[in-house]
Structures are given as structure tokens and as C-alpha cells.
Amino acid sequence: MGRKGFEQLLGFHAAPLFAGIKSACLLSFRRSAFEDFDALLAEYETCFHCKGIEVFRVAEGEEYVLLLFYRPAILWRRLQELEVQAVLAQYGYGRQDSLWGYLDHLQARMRLRKSFPHEIGLFLDYPVGDVVSFITHKGRDFCYSGYWKVYVNEEETRALFARYARCSEEFCSRLEKGCAFPDLVQAIS
């Protein structure tokens, strides 16, 4: 898979972030699918950085790398919300002085658990009620499933999922029509 495939993959899974609708998204990449994944990613990081997007390696092994693409200021505000703080505290996230402290703790929890710590949904803009309910119900008894399992505000969340889908379709369509990837990524502060 080359640059075009990489851009399509990013566009399909991260368009809501690139459009400024979400503060973060999580993507897994199989290194062997690319000629030189790290070099390819490094080329795009300049574009991301100029648009206010950072990349954090949540977990990686020989074959796979799990990356969090995020807008630092927006994610920081999200993690400072009192409801979010209360949930994160239950999983050992102390009140941090910086976003990096939260990201480092998330990375450590990922290494220790060898699976997704469920509070990761808070980093990905999932509603607090859905994250807490997912944990409480062990992923069962949800009323709807889309980008995440929905327990509260189903109608509102379905509308948001539709907005995400339209955003991804539009992003990928514009890529297919020849729009340059950096031109499609919005700068949001």
C-alpha cells in the first residue's frame, strides 16, 4: 500500500478528526502493508502538525502500531471536564499538569493490560455515559452500536454517527477526485 492507500485509510477512519468534528481518533496500522511505514508517517506528521494535529504511539509491536491522532488543545479541554476526570481517577489517572501525563498513563495501561483500557473512549470523544455504561455492562445490553456501543441518547448519537459517515464519504470522495490530502485537513485551534 502506498501513499494513496495510506491517505484513503486515514480519510476513511479519521475524517471527522481532520474536519474538526472530533478531538481524536485511534487507528491501527500493519507495518508490512507499507514499504516503510515509519518514513511514510513521518512525511505526513509535518502536515498534521501544521494543521494542529499530533500523533501519539499508544502501542506498538513488530507488525502493528496503534496511533492516536489528536488535536492537543481540544483533547486537553475534554480531559479536564469534571465528569471525565471522575472516571479517569477510577483508573489511576491522577490530575495531570499536561496532556502528555494522561497519554503516558494511557500508554502504560495499554502495556499492562495488553488490551484496550475501556476509558480510552473518553480520549476519543465518546460520551461519558456510554463509556461508563460499557464498562458497567461489560459491553452488553447496549441500545445501538456504530462507532461505539451506545447506551444513552440513542437518537442524538445516531445523528452524530450519520454526520461522521457523511464526513468520511466526502473526504474520501474528494481524495478520489484528486484533492490534495493536506488541503482536506482543516486547521482548527
- pLDDT per position as a tens digit, 84-116: 999 999 999 988 889 999 999 999 999 887 678
The confidence score (pLDDT) of residue 175 equals 94
The torsion defined by the Cα of 108, 111, 116 and 120, in degrees rounded to 10, comes to: 10
| Neighbouring-strand partners of residue 69 | 25, 55
Per-residue pLDDT tens digits for 42-93: 999 988 999 999 999 999 999 999 999 999 999 999 999 999 999 999 999 9
Residue 11 to residue 53: CA distance in whole angstroms: 14
Residue 19 to residue 169: CA distance in whole angstroms: 12
By CB atoms closer than 10 A (0-12, 13-18, 19+), residue 51 is middle
Query: Rg of the Cα trace of the chain?
Result: 17
- pTM metric for this prediction: 0.94
**DSSP at 150:** E
The confidence score (pLDDT) of residue 27 equals 97
